[in-house]
Structure 1
Amino acid sequence: MERQTAEIRAKELQALLSGYNYDYHVLDSPSISDQEYDRLLKELIDIEEAYPDVRTPDSPTQRVGGTILEGFQKVEHRTPMLSLGNAFNEEDLRDFDRKIQETVGADRSYVCELKIDGLAVSLRYENGFFVQGATRGDGTIGEDITENLKTIRSIPLKMKEPYTMEVRGEAYMPKKSFQALNEQKDENGEEPFANPRNAAAGSLRQLDPKIAASRNLDVFVYSIADVGETGVTSHSEGLSLLDSIDFKTNKERRVCENIDQVIEYVEGWNEKRPQLPYEIDGIVIKVDSLAQQAELGFTAKSPRWAIAYKFPAEEVITTLRDIELSVGRTGAITPTAILEPVKVAGTTVSRASLHNEDLIREKDIRIGDHVVVKKAGDIIPEVVNVLEDRRTGEEQPFYMPTQCPECESDLVRIEGEVALRCINPKCPAQIREGFIHFVSRNAMNIDGLGEKVISQLFSANLIIDVADLYLLTKEQLIALERIGEKSADNLLKAIHVTKDNSLERLLFGLGIRHVGAKAAKTLAQHFESMERLQSATREQLTEINEIGEKMADSVVTYFESEEARELIGKLKEVGVQMEYKGTKRAEAGAVESPFSGKTIVLTGKLEQLTRNEAKEKIEGLGGKVTGSVSKKTDLLIAGADAGSKLTKAQDLGIEIWQEEKLVKELFE
């Protein structure tokens, strides 16, 4: 591509991706599939790598996390980020209103907003471009976390109007992201985050922006620090302006004409807050008029025109009936409290994770104790403490076993970890969890093979290791409960299709400790075959930029085990792909196929493959999948209900295949 063409296309892609990003992360209304977004982003990355001068500061490519930082520079806030005074009950709110009226009179209104429990941040823009982001710090001096904030997709890198301004907001971790992150930490034997606020703060203070990018953070912007050239005269007007120039504000806000309406709003959200996908810990109430705010002024610590109502922490008392143990995929033994069912934050809780033995000892938790329970971050049930004064003497101390509760192998505690582990690779619980991981979306992605079916197969002794999945027969499947002939056919087809997956999916599916989906792809790209990776030394592995010593040791240890060598040999025998099929091989001319060097468009509904699977396999065989039909298109794959793209391809005389032919060329 010539430079002039590249510049035009880069601008087009930057505008398109910024628009799609706004639709998804601000409006919560996706206008494009994830696969298509990723394809366009990859195209833009390629152009900017070839022509670095076309890359702009607001390019969507700048959100993926840059180079590792050496530390955080101090930032002086141009307008101090003051804390708010607190209210804890109705009397406090009425007292706040009384003081407001004593200064500005009865003609006042308030804006009520949800108090997001996250990390306060300041975002500075010059001529519409995001130039610096900082933490609150002590209110006067914060830390420059610009690169980490760029990874939050709801923060515009360029606003619609060329304002020079500083806006304030709250960066937070959604409940779903928090739960997933802590589950991963538990699995790795790491200390979980106490709540989403700590998780968000910890993520934004990582020196490697890629870590922040992986944590799925979000932000709500709640004010303009200095309205200056904007011309707004009220806080609510300022929020509307922020909406219009691409910022994400919280739409649950309300303008209240009197304190009774404020109290009604507070009480309503105290009941409804468990339904929110993010954590709030109160309500912020602000005088709406900026002129009245100026008249009211500040104390040394906080504005007189705003207050934060803090929700009472919901804690309940129940009885701890028992402690159960579960064995995870990596052998980590996790204790779980079995509770007398009790309602907490809107839901009934009967189980709570105790994380590890150290926590049980630290809190002196015993079976039969009366315990205080809350939901960490209003999500995960947690035992806060024990009510020792209610003990009768019948409570039983709990001791972690020395043997695995599933296979009775000796448990070990690896140096530097808090979790006890079963290291028997043939442990039934680990194998079950390993199967679930192996078939999961980011691994082999076997559609229709869920946890229930795996449990049935395992209980019927039809599978011992993951290679056995590829030896299943229709007769074996239809003998299982609730699996008919059609379901069996579909499942066998879904399993068969995954034999041709690229190496990185298999590597991730094997569940090698510390090797996530991204590291699996890095290893597959570098070594290109299972054989070369199996023979890699620790030194060769650590030479790869993204592979550290811990991961290298884990990879070498895995491939040194006899069980792993036997499993990989068995997978080879049943025909599972052992080579990387990505861009590197295709560009090197290692793949010759009917798709090599061709530009291909997929349209309509595919029945036997997902759109993403088809794209991945075609590109693995040297083809290029695009989203639109043009004179440069070589081949169109038409699924069911194909529409305008099929018509255009017919008009241009482009070769057209049905899905059946695609599947035949891919797998036969």
Structure 2
Amino acid sequence: MLNRAMALTPVESLNEVEAEAELARLAAEMAAHDAAYAEAAPTVSDADYDAMKARNLAIETRFPALVRSDSPSLKVGAPVSTQFTEVRHGVPMLSLDNAFEAADVTDFVARIRRFLNLPADEVVAFTAEPKIDGLSANLRYEDGVLVQGATRGDGRAGEDITANLKTIADIPHRLNGKGWPARIEVRGEVYAPNDAFAAFNAEAEAAGRRTYANPRNFAAGSLRQIDPTVTAARPLRFFAYAWGETSEPFAETQAGALEAFEAWGFPVNPRSVRVEGSDGLIDVYRGLETDRAGLGYDIDGVVYKVDRLDWQTRLGFVSRSPRWAIAHKFPAQQATTVLEGIDIQVGRTGSLTPVARLAPVTVGGVVVRNATLHNEDEIARKDVRIGDTVVLQRAGDVIPQIVSVVLDKRPADALPYVFPTHCPVCGSEAVREGDDVRRRCTGGLICSAQLIERLKHFVSRRAFDIEGLGEKQLSAFHDRGWIHEPADIFRLARDADKLDALRAEDGYGETSVRNLVAGIDARRVISLERLIFGLGIRDIGDQTSLLLARHFGDWASFHAAAMEAASGIPSPEWTQLAEGHGVSPRTLSVMAAATLSPADPWPEAPIDQKLALAFPGIAAPARRALGPLAVDWAGIVELARIAREDGPSMTLGEIAGIAGVGPVAARAVADFFHEPHNQAVVAALLAELTTVQDAERPKSDTAVTGKTVVFTGALERFTRDEAKARAESLGAKVSGSVSKKTDYLVAGPGAGSKLADAQKHGVAVLTEDEWLALIGG
């Protein structure tokens, strides 16, 4: 998020280990936001999401070898929901790069001119059109008849919502006029007019039905109704603005294409206009920004597209975005209101997140009652106090945030906010570690606020992957007092009374109960890496779990090492000592080896000289760092004891030294197993399992052992996860980016920039069938 990002380590200061961990965090966090967006329940603002996306791209640019197969930079849109049939688009629906300042627009136009190598007097024309804040749709017409309609989904494939889209009056079932191709995908935005949306919400609230936060959520939720008659009753509209696959050309310019759409019966935004140069684009932007509130529908910027289609073809694409188009976003909308309270929410990982409780205020047509305060550092930095009048910003029309305090309106009795040091849910201590801006509850699985999310993680696809257990079932079983920890899931499968209650009271059929039990029992045999990942240890993702499993080989070895690491966690004093400027591992070794008398042998010497005499050979920077920690001889003796007795155990160092694991993940393992309640949870779980399978060692005698492989495109013979796992099991290294060191690029349909990179570097390019032949099927 924007404010949160300011507290993160700058990209240019990250080392490779930190960059890899940050890319993993961003991939996981953005995937969660994508999933929420796909269900019309976004959990982050557009501006904050854009900031995360920009940070991810900046790290990947600096560390190209660390690009992940699940990188957000390789994705478009959101995941495809399972409640509709998947539809593959004839041509991918790509996203646009963003511009936020006038200078960004000038740079965009300059890049166009440079790429096309245009003379100075050559005019570059664009179409500029309002960026509608709705849901993108892809309409496939064959011989002029609408045969299929889909959401954008992840850009490659969307959801088949043909029946729902046919209920929108603006979308023609048969094209008018003439000149349309025999086959064409017409694209546009489904939206809800503001007045119709407000009327719907008012009626729904009066009837006690669900209301929506804004018109975009409303449009998305309306189109994802299983019953098309529900969609038909919703006030939805449509603007056409683009196209995908087409059997033949139908226009020479973007403006000409819009005219064709209008002739065929589609509404085209009346504010779309053809202009020349960056000045013309910025004039349109300023005009729409001024008129925004009176348009009658929500827009969040202006889209600029090169008008000539032959130039669009020459410009092509970079990564997942066209070079010939850009979205110029509006700044966030603001208002002032009163901060009535600060509530603390506890997340799945135990992070304590402050949420501002506000006097209701309308910002951009949405009534806002809550706003994010990010973390305790942000509260302190902005000096936000209960009772303050605050400036509220709704960035991207989703999650508001407090920008600043109106100090001249502060009440005389407003006191600085004191952030809690204990979890408000379970009462466990809430601590901060190192440079982490978040304070976390240490309660783990005993904290009810974290429990459901941790159990969801436990049963998730890459962990125990238990069929038939989702959030709904876990919540219901927890509410009945049946599930409090992972072991309870397995106990449930053998509890005849509870299973009978499911049949009698919860409406489960015999087949459903039998399938649930079978799904649970199937996971009594589990691989070591899935078990480690399923424990939900902070900073331990699926890849780190695999590395740990392969290093230790079996559960007994891993568990013994984890317990030894837990008993060798460095003290806060040792950590402070080790982090001193100039204090190297050698310095710590010299200090640990020193034999010092309790009596001061050099009472008249200054402290710097005492340090030099006590620890011969340590450098001046280290002495300067140690000086404030040891004001006298007794302090020096205590520093030597800390260096000798309070440091990390050798086992903790061993875990940190595993390639790809590092000190952060190693400390997370130690911290997890240091907690008695976590030890009890793990012991109970192990008692319910039949077998923990030893880790599969990568083979060392295959055709791809030691080779670096990159997968790209829409793989059809296997999923990206399957391809990566198989390659790694054969001793290959899977990378997310192509370089001179890459041995093979396995390219599926739709391969883009990576294919070009492979050709540039002379990398062998294989089809999926060729790859399977190489590795033996």
> TM-score scaled by structure 1?
0.48
> TM-score scaled by structure 2?
0.42
